[in-house]
Chain A
């Protein structure tokens, strides 16, 4: 039985943070995760259901100094067609292109995808390799407080994050890419639409003289959270992207991940996928 005592649809951030401060709240954005999860009983409603969909300040993509700022309520469809995202974070738009279906992209928000904290969430791996940080707002003693954290550190387990109960994720910030920046995303599923990733891979860095620096590698669906791959990154950092370096990085990637068997694939198959697709992506980066 649901024990919802209050429904609120605040019009602005201040009001929303006030409600969060008062006690236990279930946050509703697009509802594409929350509706099936509550219906199936996997998640129980808290006493307050707060629909954040009317908070205009949480929508849209803007330039903020040296950062691209994406509001939490920006939908996957909006990310797909946004000119600033296309210019500064094309790899994110690419990931959105392989996301669910048009109807779900029209409803699902970036903030929802992040806070759902699925290891297979499709925006997470590209955002991690772009060095994205999350912005969390709260109102602990009457005035609004904001903190930021690298997205790579935000996840603690499936469906779990470091967001405190009184905090709202307000935006994601991505540093504007430096000259020579390359970024790639790959999602493996068994069909092109409406498929949860079996694995996903993100690779980024600054490419100069045939080598990558500031290398970022991240994997989805091989651990309880999306993860960065420090040993694969180290195998690549500063090295010429020749066949030996690429093979060494692909081997490091396979050894570094520790996936599970599930309905979508066996652990062995996931490791092979990680190895072979990391190699293929690095080949493409080398020849780009």
Chain B
């Protein structure tokens, strides 16, 4: 028998109550239990950033987090960010700069980029590159992603 636990948390602004296996990771819970598949599984061990979410404002790899640890916390996924008008500039900038090819890394990239812009409102390219260190992209070569984040910064330069 797997031990389960009741948790209650805020997911993209809405209160959510669930009963889950205490060893389950947060990424599996988001994708398989809640059904939000925008958050991607790339490596499952903290190397690629495809699973990046916001936990109480900070970005984390959901694959490294125990789902039970969501209890009482404020969680935002790419679906929540997509519905947030504050993120419009970032999304449009990714489109304009062609920063998306296959798109698999994009949800994690955009989540992490939004965190960089929140914590460093006038980030330069160097700060953006450092902030995106934990996000791998196999397609773009990163330049277009960094350009997209930089131009979304301070409403564009």
Contact = CB atoms under 8 A, between A and B. Distances in A.
Q: Which size class do A's interface residues fall under?
A: 20 to 34
B71 A100 contact: no
Interface string A185-201: 00000001110000000
A107 B23 contact: no
Contacts of B55: 106-107
Contacts of A30: 64
A12 interface: no
Interface in B26-78: 44-47, 49, 52, 55, 58-61, 63-66, 68-69, 71-72
Contacts of B65: 31, 35, 107
A192 B133 contact: yes
Interface in A65-117: 77, 100-104, 106-107
B14 to A, nearest CB: 22
B5 interface: yes
B2 interface: yes
Contacts of B69: 28, 31, 51, 53
B115 A102 contact: yes
Contacts of B115: 102
User: Would you call the interface of chain B mostly helix, strand, loop, or mixed?
Assistant: mixed
Q: Which size class do B's interface residues fall under?
A: 20 to 34
B125 interface: no
B58 A77 contact: yes
Contacts of A49: 22-23
A7 interface: yes
B106 interface: no
Interface of A: 2, 4-7, 9, 28, 30-32, 34-36, 38-39, 45, 49, 51, 53-54, 77, 100-104, 106-107, 192-194
Given A5-B3, A106-B58, 10 more contacts: A2-B2, A4-B22, A9-B71, A31-B64, A31-B69, A32-B61, A100-B46, A101-B49, A102-B115, A103-B61
